[in-house]
Structure 1
Amino acid sequence: MLDRLAALPFWQAFAALFVIVMARSNATYWVGRGAVAGWRRYRGAHGELTRRAESLLRSLGPLAVTLSYLTIGIQTAVHLTAGVMRMPLRFYVPAAVVGSAAWAAIYATIGLAVVQAWIAAEAGSWWGLAVIVAVLGAGIVTWVVRGRRREPETTDPARTRS
């Protein structure tokens, strides 16, 4: 399916991706609105993720919804939490539209370019393989750097003052 999207003109790929992400995020929001009892079980199993989503929504409001489209790993939790917290639709829908448009634009350009590079690499093009290696390398470096930033600092008892 992605190779079909990659073959489309930009505006058609953008429109298809926009519809897909709007449907997914709104479905997640409505599941959250209707599943408060299930949320308590989900929250227990995914405590840290849901705490982060709730914290983002409480501090940023609808902006958290928009920004969640630019993240990996917390997007679904933000939309589900927005539904559970019953964010009013007059705030949620515009934030979802802007975020969906940003997501679709990114995937219709960069994301589909990676798919096209992958297809070219499969066909024997060295340029396609070089793009895939560069993207994977950048992703690994980003993952390692983010992981190191999250490591808690340990305090040396010998260096603490009384």
Structure 2
Amino acid sequence: MTGVPDFILHGPFPILVIFLAIVVCFRSQGTYWLARLITTGVIKTSESTTKPWLRKIGKWLEGASVQQGVDIIDRWGLIAIPLSFLTIGIQTIIHAGAGVLRLRWWLYTLVAVPGYFAWGFLYATVTLSILKTGQAAVLGKTWAILLTLGIVLIAVLFSLRRYKIAKARVKNQLD
């Protein structure tokens, strides 16, 4: 398949899992350290900085979503960190919450390692499934075309439902 590195399509599956685990390790460590450094004052934020992106991150860290991540860690304990890799939508706020809480780095990393590999395994499986199904659809395989259309339909319906729910919430807040 054009544009997809050979090691993804034909390489050993464990190598792909390890590669993706390293990718998510860098992402979560970056979120943790950014939150930790900003909230400990190593990087000056708020009105004292001239960098708008830094101000934006500082405001996000002081906002409700990161506080939700802090609350989740307070409520569930350290198990929330590896389990966050199995979620969609709260992963980043939990890792930022760990940085805001100033969890010791070695402890944060130790509990996150199983999550790195779980995420790598899930994404490797999903990625390969999508690529192989896409390849079969391009080759004209009926089952792949129907599966792809079904997934697109489900995604559209899910998005419309979420849009309607969000619109209703905004309307209720305005009333």
Equivalent position of 2:15 in the other structure: 12
Equivalent position of 1:95 in the other structure: 111
Gaps of 5+ in 1: 155-162
Equivalent position of 2:139 in the other structure: 123
- Select which of 69, 84, 102 maps to 1:68: 84
**1:1-162 residue pairs with structure 2 within 5 A?**
4=6, 5-36=8-39, 37=45, 40-44=58-62, 47-136=63-152, 144=161
Rounded to whole Å, the distance in 1 between the matches of 2:142 and 2:106 is 49
Rounded to whole Å, the distance in 2 between the matches of 1:26 and 1:141 is 34
Q: Measure how far apart 1:138 and its partner are.
A: 5.5
Deviates more, 1:115-124 or 1:51-60: 115-124
Q: Measure how far apart 1:76 and its partner are.
A: 1.2
Is the 1:6–1:13 contact (alpha carbons within 8 Å) kept by the matching residues of 2?
no
Is the 1:21–1:100 contact (alpha carbons within 8 Å) kept by the matching residues of 2?
yes
Is the 1:2–1:112 contact (alpha carbons within 8 Å) kept by the matching residues of 2?
no
Using structure 2 for the length normalisation, give the TM-score.
0.69
Is the 2:84–2:91 contact (alpha carbons within 8 Å) kept by the matching residues of 1?
yes
Q: Percent identity?
A: 28
Q: SS in structure 2 opposite 1:8?
A: coil
